[in-house]
Amino acid sequence: MRRTVFVVFFIACVVAISFGNTLSYGFVWDDHFLIGDSYFVRHWSALPKIFTSHFWAGHADWKMYYRPLINVTYLVDYHLWGLRP
């Protein structure tokens, strides 16, 4: 039991040291139009539309991606934290 706790703590420390500085980074690549400019992300009333639209709705002609849960998490994150990644 103690060994397991130590291993979990060690892995958590390695992850925190490795990725901790990324918390201050901003949006990159497609984040600006998938999150920053998206109607789906800014308005709770768009929640039903998220489940009937493709992932790139309003941004590109690629209609082959259906990923509603990603947009739901973007919606929740936006309302919790705003546009501060």
Region 65-69 average pLDDT: 80
pLDDT, tens digit (0-9, with 9 covering 90-100), for 39-56 = 778 888 888 888 888 777
pLDDT of residue 50: 82
pTM of the model: 0.64
The per-type count for the chain, helices as H runs and strands as E runs, is 5, 0
Q: 46, 44, 80, 52: which is closest to 68 by C-alpha?
A: 52
Report the share of the chain in percent with pLDDT over 90: 16
* Residue pair 43/72 in contact by the 8 Å Cβ criterion: no
